[in-house]
Structure 1
Amino acid sequence: MRNEIEQVGPRLRAARQARGWTLEELATRTGLSVSTLSRLEAGKRQASLELLLPITRQLGIRIDDLLPGESGDPRVRRETVRRDGMLIAPLTLDRSPVQAFKITYAPAPAPPAPRVHDGFEWLYVLSGRLRLVLDDTEHVLERGEAAEFDTRLPHSMTAMPEGPAEVLSIFSASGERIHTHLGGA
């Protein structure tokens, strides 16, 4: 536990430096003193929620990001599933903050009924052609094309009739739950 706490300061420093901010810039944004921030980063000041909340909000990170992740086997060993004409291969660990999948869509003569749910989706077409119906507008994405959309818009996806489409999909947590567990689009 002590070793984990000792990593908070260096992780704060790394997050600040990744933004290209000086201690002075972060101090101005958080309302904390340069001295306090410097001592936190050096491990000479005990980290508290009162101090960490404004810092993490400004840096755009979570408090969890300051703690070391679980070490162990980084390989993803989750089962591929077949559902609603899709072959879904997980590419991230179950506990990852975002979820990535390689999804193979079966060809279909027409798109399925559109669905809506909370979340965001980012996708990249690896092979084939993907029909994305988004808010009543049909888009055909070719190999090498990408799309990003708010899943609160009515949407559906399928491969074009001539053959399957392989897609790399990245979901926010809420979007992943709908698509891979509850029978989403």
Structure 2
Amino acid sequence: MPDDSVALIGPRLKSWREKRSMTLADLSQATGISSSTLSRLEAGKRAPNLELVVPIARALRLELDDIVPRKAPDPRVARTKKRMGDTWYESLSPESSPVQTYKVTFPANPAGITAVPEPRVHDGQEWLYVLSGRLRLVIGEQDVVLGPGEAAEFDTRIPHWLSGVGTQQTEMLSIFSKEGKRIHLRARPAAPSVRSTETPR
């Protein structure tokens, strides 16, 4: 048990006892532990151990997690970066997350591409945001170009394809729901569609 957690056990027990409107005498009678021992424990003058904490937790109707503060996990995401062709994908969310977030970097494409490769189809819902450069998005019968500050959302079961356009590389954020949950609540489109919005500046 970390030292800082041990030091907080006594004050937390006292706080819970007072929330339960119990006196030291009440808790002593419920646990069989003397009032003086309970008082010293709450004041941090008696080291806590399972023989003391377990009966106190039972008497106060608590779980041990209510008494021993949980240590906050490291919130930083272990980022991985992989290359597929000329495009880089950098993960910005844990692999276990139901919603996956990536930073995608497309290479410069000054000549553009007129022939669209075989579009992709997979379960899910995707929301993307262009950070820099220009992004070409082909979805269904629509073919649009998005610039910095623009966003799009679409059902990934509709055939789609993305590519950078222009003389500089294109960077975008992609948020993808593996379970097909929608990133933004809205009605399901009746036909292949894409919605593009420009972020207010």
TM range (shorter): 0.5 to 0.7
- Correspondence for 2:42: none
- Correspondence for 2:150: 145
With 71-80 and 104-113 compared, the bigger mean Cα shift is at 104-113
Q: CA deviation at 1:112?
A: 3.3
- Correspondence for 2:85: 84
- Correspondence for 1:162: 167
8 Å CA contact 1:120–1:150 kept in 2: the answer is yes
- Correspondence for 1:56: none
| Bigger radius of gyration among the two | 2
Q: CA deviation at 1:174?
A: 5.0
Q: Deviation digits for residues 66-123 of structure 1, max 9, x if unmatched?
A: xxxx951111113211112211111111111201011001234214321111111000
- Correspondence for 1:94: 95
Give the 5 Å matches for 1:8-27.
none
CA separation in 2, counterparts of 1:151 and 1:71?
35
CA separation in 1, counterparts of 2:160 and 2:86?
16
CA separation in 2, counterparts of 1:171 and 1:84?
20
For the structure 1 residues 162 and 136, does the alpha-carbon distance in structure 2 shift closer, same or farther, using more than 3 Å as the test?
Answer: farther
8 Å CA contact 1:101–1:169 kept in 2: the answer is yes
More helix by proportion, 1 or 2?
Answer: 1
8 Å CA contact 2:123–2:178 kept in 1: the answer is no
CA separation in 2, counterparts of 1:75 and 1:112?
37
CA separation in 2, counterparts of 1:174 and 1:87?
24
Q: Deviation digits for residues 126-156 of structure 1, max 9, x if unmatched?
A: 0000000010321100100000000111100
Q: Where does structure 2 lack aligned partners over 5 or more consecutive residues?
A: 1-60, 62-70, 181-201
CA separation in 1, counterparts of 2:86 and 2:179?
22
SS for the counterpart of 2:128 is: strand
Q: CA deviation at 1:164?
A: 1.3
- Correspondence for 2:107: 106
Q: Where does structure 1 lack aligned partners over 5 or more consecutive residues?
A: 1-43, 45-69, 176-185
- Correspondence for 2:139: 134
SS for the counterpart of 1:162 is: coil
Normalising by structure 2, we get a TM-score of 0.49
CA separation in 1, counterparts of 2:118 and 2:168?
20
CA separation in 2, counterparts of 1:112 and 1:71?
46
CA separation in 2, counterparts of 1:83 and 1:115?
14
8 Å CA contact 1:112–1:158 kept in 2: the answer is no
8 Å CA contact 1:120–1:172 kept in 2: the answer is yes
- Correspondence for 1:64: none
Aligned length: 108
Q: CA deviation at 1:162?
A: 2.1
CA RMSD of aligned residues (A): 2.2
SS for the counterpart of 2:158 is: coil
